[in-house]
């Protein structure tokens, strides 16, 4: 059988939705067997193209999905930019962002007498979003470091080589072949048991660099809430991406 060279794809195409032209990013996947269109909770839609897929077929596929895409976009939550008055979850608990009225100081999480919670943020109004996000990222680093070290000690893998906090869109965590663990800072907005599960999941990869039955057994030993946490992330994980600007 004769094969012809695969033509390179552009990085994106466009579809027309009502009176709007929408960009769709293209990603060729050598293992994919069909075209798949995804709409991340934040960012631009992504169309996966099979190994020998063509630009022409990709465009036709995207055009056929225009109605589906329009419906999904209409139902997508609006971005919450972490401005004064916005509500953001911290460890699963809603906190209202409130300016401190001071130019200097640290961001503080406070619980009021009525049980409601606030993030008290100093600085100019234009700095509120940046400082709120930085605070959440640092809280994520602290909680994930504690959780990772706890699970690593259980397995005799402490100290962990390196922990990286990022703003990933498709993964809550990852483990490199060199032993570096990376996590999404957005886990700090989920209930603590969810963050703990993701930490345990990546620490388990220090023993099993796969998703074998042995891996899942170890993961559930470290985090008995594994099944519950995975279900929570499938149902509610995308909601965490509406907060703050994304890369």
At 204-227, the pLDDT tens digits run 999 999 999 999 999 999 999 999
Task: Tell me which of 10-19, 108-117, 133-142, 156-165 is least confident.
Answer: 10-19
| Residues facing residue 173 across a β-bridge | 183
Q: How many CB atoms lie within 10 A of CB 31?
A: 7
pLDDT above 90 covers a percentage of the chain that reads: 83
* Helices within the chain (DSSP H only): 55-64, 66-75, 128-155, 192-204, 213-222, 226-236
Are the CB atoms for 208 and 214 separated by under 8 Å? yes
| Residues facing residue 96 across a β-bridge | 87, 118
- Average pLDDT, rounded, for the chain: 93
For residue 15, name the pLDDT band (cuts at 50, 70, 90).
Answer: very high
For 157-187, write each residue's pLDDT tens digit.
Answer: 999 999 999 998 889 999 999 999 999 999 9
pLDDT at residue 88 tops 50 = yes
Name all domains of the chain by residue range, CATH numbers in brackets: 12-75 (no CATH), 130-242 (3.30.2010.10)
How far is the C-alpha of 43 from the C-alpha of 82, rounded, in Å? 17
pLDDT on residue 1: 46
pLDDT on residue 206: 97
Mean pLDDT of 119-127: 96
Six-digit token pair at 128? 């509120």
CB burial class (10 A; 0-12, 13-18, 19+) of residue 23?
Answer: exposed
pLDDT at residue 236 tops 80 = yes
Q: How many CB atoms lie within 10 A of CB 219?
A: 25
Are the CB atoms for 91 and 192 separated by under 8 Å? yes
Residue 224 to residues 139, 197, 208, Cα–Cα distance (Å) = 24, 8, 18
């Amino acid at each position: 059988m004769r094969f012809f060279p695969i033509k390179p794809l552009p990085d994106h195409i466009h579809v027309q939705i009502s009176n709007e032209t929408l960009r769709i990013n293209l990603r060729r996947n050598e293992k994919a067997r069909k075209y798949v269109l995804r709409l991340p909770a934040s960012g631009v839609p992504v169309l996966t193209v099979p190994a020998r897929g063509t630009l022409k077929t990709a465009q036709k596929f995207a055009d056929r999905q225009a109605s589906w895409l329009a419906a999904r976009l209409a139902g997508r939550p609006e971005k919450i930019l972490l401005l004064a008055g916005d509500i953001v979850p911290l460890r699963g608990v809603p906190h209202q962002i409130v300016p401190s009225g001071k130019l200097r100081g640290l961001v503080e999480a406070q619980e009021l007498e009525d049980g409601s919670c606030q993030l008290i943020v100093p600085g100019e109004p234009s700095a509120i979003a940046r400082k709120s996000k930085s605070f959440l990222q640092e809280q994520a680093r602290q909680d994930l470091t504690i959780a990772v070290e706890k699970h690593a000690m259980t397995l005799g893998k402490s100290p962990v080589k390196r922990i990286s906090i990022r703003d990933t869109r498709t993964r809550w965590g990852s483990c490199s072949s060199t032993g570096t663990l990376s996590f999404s800072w957005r886990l700090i907005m989920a209930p603590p048991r969810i963050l703990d599960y993701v930490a345990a999941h990546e620490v388990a990869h220090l023993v099993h660099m796969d998703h074998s039955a042995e891996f899942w057994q170890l993961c559930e030993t470290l985090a008995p809430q594994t099944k519950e946490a995975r279900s929570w992330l499938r149902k509610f994980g995308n909601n965490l991406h509406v907060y703050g600007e994304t890369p």
